[in-house]
Structure 1
Amino acid sequence: MPEGVLEIDRVSKRYGNVVALEDMAFAVRAGEMFGFVGSNGAGKTTTMRIALGVLAADSGEVRWNGTPLDLRTRRRIGYMPEERGLYPKMKAADQLAYLGELHGMSTRDARRGAERWTERLGLSERRNDEVQKLSLGNQQRVQLAAALIHEPDVLILDEPFSGLDPVAVDVMSQVLREMCDSGVPVVFSSHQLELVQRLCDRIGIVRRGRMVAAGTVDELRDSGTATLVVDAPEAPAGWAEGLPGVHVLGTESGRTTLELAEGTDDQAVLGAALATGPVHEFSRRRPELTELFRNVVTEESAA
């Protein structure tokens, strides 16, 4: 597959009366890392399995460079499932070489690939150990190596950082960034939202099988509810109550945190604060990804 764009176009999937996906749509460009986040059961794994051809969509299409994916192009995808799909009694390097051959590599190239990736992922001393004798974190590294062994053109990873210690997280993060830098689109799901915010070029938030928000971290944070922190030490209690479009979240030691409705003039809030005396701080705080995600979950529970 040449360098290009992976498109999930209005993909839907039902199991009886249960809607797993409804018009799921997003695209991942060459060299882009896309974070796929949502509650358990939101549809992330189902989307990935449809992209791989493991599941069939009821409607919609998965395309690479504008062409529907077929068996040949899907062989060029590197996939890391959330559930480890390794043979427990097989040596790590032998398993990687075997999987490489299944992807069409020669025995020689597959062996070289296994040696390269075990070294790159810090498994050199454990490459001849049976997988079942490895720690969960090292099994996760082997699983990533299995997704990379055939030098894929697209990477799809389901919870790749699960169970990893901080050092292993750093190693895996660096490898994924290197893959992006080489032009490979990378899609991964994770519940570690701080990590998603730090690593990803764009993020999609999924709820009940639908993409409800997508964009860069800055775009998503700017789309959230505006929050102001005002430090007006001489302001009387409740000074901001009743201001149009303003909801007081709390006050502590003279610092008041306010939530502004869309379109509210923050300068009017500043004027009200100055009318009470000096203002030592007047700052707009953007929500972190964790807060945005929590809001989505809250909306889902209330629906």
Structure 2
Amino acid sequence: MRTGNRQMKSLLFMISLNLACSTVEFAIGLFTGRIGLVSDAFHLALGSGLLTFSLFAMAASQRKPDHVYTYGFQRLNVLSAFTNTVFLLFMSFSLTVEALHAFIEDESEHKHYLVVSAVTNLMVNLNGVWFFRNYARINLVYKKAEDMNYHSICLHVVADSIRCVGLIWTFWLLSLGVNNAEALCMGLVSCSVFMLVMPVFKASGGVLLQMAPPNIPSSALTKYWEQISCLKDVTQVSEARFWEVVPGHVVGSLLLEGKQGMDDGAIVEYVHGLYGDLGINDFTVQTDYI
């Protein structure tokens, strides 16, 4: 951590604050018999665990490639981003269930004590929002794998801040005598978190599933496929595969089948020039003859 960058040190500080708050909240919940405080403490502890994994991904991704991990460890940042978004989607689902339960049972008046915890957690989360404020936009263009991880961390603390604001808003509406205040507020928070997280969930999941890079139009790939197929002595183009190892590092491969005596050197150079214009960093062309 002494050699870590500013984001790593900021994240470590935020994790420490979260763990301190969850420990105090858990102890108070056990002492007073408030199940809501104990549950919220476990939520904070789980969130801290995921942020700790994000911190580990930041540190481990700086290691150089070796003979086993030939592409290096940058994909840990993508995995961390995906894990964060899965947790937030689960939180969105649990808030929906909580809202439905509050609407049916109307037990919200028994949870006023959570407002103190919500205010405390909000103060901690606002520190995290400030640390990662440069990654607060919903649709962010990822130039590096670290950007995706930083973005997911920022959305993590933003989503938890929205949850805290929802609890505070619930308390205020209940004090005004508004019926079904908890169901209304938690429902809105659930929808907000879901819409906030889905872009990162799709982006990180797409990288892990080796989908075609979103920054390369499919029309361009189809166009170049047709151009190569029309080349002299080329009989078939197949197994065209393009994916991102990490954001900013696109890999591609192509199989060309041609006639005997085909000038494969010139054709391969031409193909590399075409796909190089699309920003593909690592491209392999395999030739075969019939």
TM over 0.5: no
Higher helix share goes to which structure?
Answer: 2
Q: Tell me which of the two structures has the higher relative contact order, counting C-alpha pairs closer than 8 angstroms and 6 or more residues apart.
A: 1
TM-score, normalization: structure 2? 0.26
Higher strand share goes to which structure?
Answer: 1
